Chains A and B, each alone.
Chain A
């Protein structure tokens, strides 16, 4: 059968299956079965069996449930409160005052958690009521949270970078290094926007918030951040210095998070069990998606779609920049109705050969993808951060999306920056001794 026809049938099937509400992981598996049937492959079941096994037994993949578990443990501590109380005094002089607490606490929490929804939920639960009590502008409070919640995806440890690394067969430690600088740049962009907004509006967002702190009080407050700084230093530091693999660092992170939760006095047995079941649910959900994605990638290879696509793109003679622009638009459209993980696994199974063919670095492309997915997290109708904040505030999704719009553009600026200066993402990984 003609490849264009097979491709067309698969796209239609995918659209129908996804919109009707068939589970994403099973859709991927089902698509692969249909595709292999169309080319009369005789050993579909055997391929499924072996790819289920190889998709779930990788050593680098073991980091995934561990980082998820670590986040689940910390989610149940009073870490978010400590972050708020620790950061507030120091930031009270900056134009925008406590709005920056939203951004920085998300940035710090992102360095121990790998998910953007978890980051937004953990920090928002604490900061939103406090900001609204002190009279801050509602839409700015929501916007800063929605935007900086997405940092959970980019700042290592990041679940989505692990998934990309496994699917694209790129070193996860290198991806983690590559994500660090773009993450810091995003924080700076978010903070700059908040400062400019506050100066233009002529108020710090909070009419009532005129509490001032002495230097000693600031220092005392910052002491609350010490345990978390140690945890981040231990986990990320050991990866960056090359003394531990991401998996080992993750196991250390789980133990560290448990120790921290005992230190903060919020450790309970039922909380511990909840954290395990939470981690189980997320890991199994992602694991089944990985099985489907692995199988689909295999099927795609048999059908020959990725290569054909790569040749077609090469024949168009697009420059890498033009290709990146087309892909950005395509991914944002895809991200409007699919969640980030699904976008990543669908992409790596079809688009990656075409991208590497065009001479684009696979590590750089991972960071680019994550930034695009961050944008899709805050665009309606399907944006997970919007859902989280909607349920935290009770505001409707359009209001939340509007509040988040400036931060959507800030992420777009970050994409332009890393495209113009790829070294932002690629410099740190070169420092790592292999």
Chain B
């Protein structure tokens, strides 16, 4: 289970990082092509889609690392027990919103598929294909929230809290 979790967050980071690198290469290639008088078709649109993939794929990893910002002013001033209660409330709210996001991003992708939508770009691509990372990434975030919630239920401290506390110590 621990190994599985490790690979889960690792793949979130890897997918996101890979999209970031690809996006950089694509934009650089486009600049180079322009100097030589050539054009890479739809490169700007592909860069945008890669950006969306970068952002959504990495959400779970970012959450795990405690890097999604929030106001911890109150939390750090509470005693251990009260802090745990409040953290439970936060996670429930997080579960709700991220679950909502995951459900409806999948819904959006399904509708694009159902209507057979294609992109309005030079190179025509089925819309659901480029939207898929958004839904998968949102689901990843929801799973990460569930993971932290279960860890809390078992009476342990989720990784994101540990990482947050470490960051506030050393930056």
Chain A contacts to B: CB under 8 angstroms: 17-27, 29-30, 33, 45-46, 48-50, 52-53, 56-59, 61-62, 65-66, 69, 117, 121, 244, 247-248, 250-252, 254-255, 273, 276-277, 279-285, 287-289, 291, 337-339, 341-342, 381-382, 387-388, 391-392
Contacts and interface: CB of A to CB of B under 8 A. Distances in A.
B107 interface: yes
B81 interface: no
B90 A50 contact: no
Contacts of B75: 20-21
Nearest to A289: B69
Contacts of B48: 57-59, 61-62
Given A20-B74, A57-B51, A247-B47, A387 B93 contact: no
B114 interface: no
Interface of B: 13, 16-17, 20-21, 23-24, 27-28, 30-31, 44-45, 47-52, 54-56, 58-59, 61-63, 65, 67-75, 86-87, 89-90, 93-94, 96-98, 100-101, 103-105, 107-108, 131, 134, 138, 168-171
Contact of A255 (B28, B67, B94, B169): B28
Contacts, number: 195
Contacts of B47: 59, 62, 247
B20 A382 contact: no
User: Chain A contact residues: over half helix, strand or loop, or mixed?
Assistant: helix
Given A20-B74, A283-B20, A251 B108 contact: no
B171 A391 contact: yes
A59 B86 CA distance: 39
B93 A30 contact: yes
A30 B97 contact: yes
9 contacts: A18-B70, A21-B87, A24-B68, A33-B97, A45-B104, A66-B23, A281-B65, A284-B67, A291-B55
A248 B27 contact: yes
**Best-surrounded residue of B56, B58, B98, B134 (most CB of chain A within 10 A):** B58
B102 to A, nearest CB: 10
